[in-house]
Chain A
Amino acid sequence: MSQVARSMSDHEAEVWAALDLVCDPELDEPITDLGFVERLDIHDDGSVDVLFRLPTYWCSPNFAYLMASDIYLSVGQLDWVSQVRPTLRDHLFEEQLNVGVAQGRSFRQIFGDDADADIDEVRGKFRLKAFQRRQEVVLRALLAEGIEAADIAAMTAGDLEQRPLIDKDAEIQRLRYLSILPAIYFYGPFPCREFAPVGQTIAADAPAFVDDEARLLTVSGLTKRLQMLRSVRLNMEFTGTICRSLLAVRDKAAESPGSSNTEKHGS
């Protein structure tokens, strides 16, 4: 990706920026940071091919679908783009997914009776986890900076907006937390959308730290909440470590000569 970045045209830069907004739902990390995007092709007719690969052939197809359709939507937002073709490679269901997403079909339309969960429900479930994960990072960073639990519980969204964090990763999560917080206020524990309804926002004096039902956290509730959030993080770190390690191994194998792995394109 770095080589691409150096010689990037404006259009390429815009597509990469659009891809930065697409996250692995299970890990809440951009697919670009994770190294899932293997190749980008921008054609003269304004169509864009995005080739991506997941850590294993067995990765859950609902997550694969969410990423493919988010690529489709996010890149499709660019006004000069005429068509987006996300292509998943080396996956058990690549054919069904690639054809289905390019035709704008829903998960259920693609998989029929084999798919019994509502994909929006899945989306909501993982958005809630993203909210929880981001919240934990921010809470622990504030505690690490010596802020008292009582002062944290009393913080408003406005206060948090004005309060950069020292730790670099935590600072990134503070901004991401603030961006997802309205969804919890407006949609509750299963946010079907990432952002508040158009034209609406939460008040600056709304509490910065709430539970999954958007209820204010008390000082005693904060300790309990942190314990719960720890499990959420341990779950996500488990999957994240495995995904990252598998990708690292595959990339290493692809670099070594005579390897039987599929060649890596693009970067």
Chain B
Amino acid sequence: MYKAPTGEEYFVLDGHTHFWDASPENQRNIHGKQFIDCFYGYHSALSPPEEVWTREQFDKYDAEKMHQDVIVDGHVDMAIVQSTRLKDFYKKGFNTPEKNYELVKKYPERFIVSGAFDPRDGEHALEDIAYQVEAFKCQGMKLYTAEWNGSSRGWKLSDPEAYRCFEQCEKLGIKNIHIHKGPTITPLDKDAFDVNDVDHAATDFPNLNFVVEHVGLPRLDEFCWIAVQEQNVYAGLAVVSAFMHARPGYFAEMMGELLFWLGEDRILFGSDYAIWTPRWLVEKFAALELPDAIKDERGVDLTTDIKAKILGLNAARLYDIDVEAKKAAIAKL
């Protein structure tokens, strides 16, 4: 629970965290080094100076440190740990569901693992989903459509192979699909993070929730357009929330847009730990006031009740967490 200096209390569910090993020993090639270099750039560029880690810390951290940063110091009650295998870049993978599950074993009340699958693996992908649900109690999946696989330079949620995986998710009780839709990067000229494929999948799988991480930036207009049509599309604030320190005006304007288009029930807080530590993000978000110009123009506000939804209650609803029961369980730890 986070208790703000002004007295309000918030149940915080961090919808987007990582538990990675990007150490030089685990890097398979130059891509592995460049990948974590890029993350470290994001980390040092947008964190408040006192929150910046050394490079060695950032390369690899253990379960105790993550628990300390996120849960003990970070005001977070529960966190979703996202999986991204990236075996082409890292020998043992980057943040695999296997590794993430260590956190659940150690801190079962605190962490939930979101698995990963690649529909281009065909039949194996279906088995993989079943295995992860069984072995790691996955309740969600994190998808990364830009990943290379053999001669393929990316895939789309609307691919027939992806649909078979979504059917498998539905069958096994997985409800939440987190999709990385962020800044344009390789491969090549294809925009691997184009958001339009979300529209198709969300229409055809109304029982699944599609959490678009990084709100599809820089494709906000297209993302909002889709989210207005599809009630099962959600905005994941990871990366956007980090603008609260360096560009608070930008973040406020962005919140105005998301509240206007999606409303207060479909926005989920995420720190993207360890790119950013949640403590300052939670504190700044709880203290945030929308400027009058945005309130007037968009007819929206960011009240305490709405902040509570975004910080935790919306994600708790998606993950079927009984917040009062959870608070009681946590109090006994």
What is the CB-to-nearest-CB distance from A73 to chain B, in angstroms, rounded to a whole number? 19
Q: A115-B188, A235-B218 are in contact. Are A56 and B257 (CB under 8 A)?
A: no
Q: Are A57 and B38 also in contact (CB < 8 A) when A228-B221, A235-B221, A246-B45 are?
A: yes
Binds A, one of B72-80, B135-143, B246-254: B246-254
B186 A242 Cβ-Cβ under 8 A: no
Known A-B contacts A58-B34, A245-B45; the reply to A231 vs B220 at CB < 8 A is: yes
Contacts between the two chains (Cβ within 8 Å), count: 99
Decide if the interface of chain B is mainly helix, strand, loop or mixed: helix
Instruction: Report the Cα distance A167→B35, complex, angstroms.
Output: 40
> In the assembled complex, which residues on chain A have CB atoms less than 8 Å from the CB atom of B257?
230-231, 234
Q: Mark A232-267, 1 if CB is under 8 A from B, else 0.
A: 101111110110011011100000000000000000
* B98 shortest CB reach to chain A, Å: 26
Minimum CB distance partner of A114 in chain B: B188
Q: Is A116 an interface residue (CB 8 A)?
A: yes
Please give, as numbers and ranges, the residues of chain A lying within 8 Å of B189 by CB-CB distance.
60-62, 107, 111, 115-117, 119, 122
Contact B38 A242 (CB under 8 A): no
**CB distance B186 to A61 under 8 Å?**
yes
CA distance A58 to B257 in the complex (A): 29
Q: Which residues of A contact B240 (CB under 8 A)?
A: 238
Rounded to whole angstroms, the CA-CA distance of A230 and B293 in the bound complex is 14
Is B321 an interface residue, CB under 8 A from the partner?
A: no
Are B37 and A57 in contact, with the CB atoms below 8 A? yes
Known contacts A117-B190, A230-B257; A242 and B185 CB within 8 A of each other: no
Q: Which of B42, B190, B221, B243 contacts A246 (CB 8 A)?
A: B42
A92 touching B186, Cβ below 8 Å = yes
A59: interface (CB < 8 Å):
yes
Residues of chain A contacted by B31 (CB below 8 angstroms) = 92
Number of interface residues, chain B, beta carbon within 8 A: 33
Q: Count of chain A residues with Cβ under 8 Å from any Cβ of B?
A: 37
> Is A26 positioned at the interface, with any CB of B under 8 Å from its CB?
yes
Q: How distant is the Cα of A250 from the Cα of B44 in the complex, in angstroms?
A: 10
Within B247-298, which residues are at the interface with A (CB < 8 Å)? 247, 250, 253-254, 257
Check B160 for interface membership: any CB of A closer than 8 A.
no
Q: Chain B contacts of A55 at CB under 8 A?
A: 41
Task: Specify which of B45, B190, B217 lies most central, judged by the most chain A CB atoms within 10 Å of its CB.
Answer: B45
Nearest to B222 among chain A residues (CB) is A231
Structural contact, B183 and A242, CB atoms closer than 8 A: yes
Given the interface contacts A234-B257, A248-B45, A249-B45, does A26 sit within 8 Å of B184 by beta carbon?
yes
A60 touching B185 by the CB < 8 A rule? yes
Asked whether any CB of chain A lies closer than 8 Å to the CB of B46, the reply is yes
Instruction: Report the bound CA distance from A241 to B45 in whole Å.
Output: 9
Q: How far is the CB of B39 from the nearest CB of chain A, in Å?
A: 10
Question: B153 contacts the other chain (Cβ, under 8 Å)?
Answer: yes
Most B CB atoms within 10 A — which of A59, A119, A235, A238?
A: A238
Minimum CB–CB distance from B312 to chain A (whole Å) comes to 25
Known: A58-B34, A241-B247. 16 other contacts (CB 8 A): A56-B37, A56-B38, A57-B38, A59-B185, A61-B188, A117-B189, A230-B253, A231-B221, A232-B221, A235-B217, A236-B218, A238-B183, A242-B183, A245-B45, A246-B38, A246-B42
Where the two chains meet, the residues of A that have a C-beta atom closer than 8 Å to any C-beta of B are 26, 55-63, 92-93, 107, 111, 114-117, 119, 122, 228, 230-232, 234-239, 241-242, 245-246, 248-250
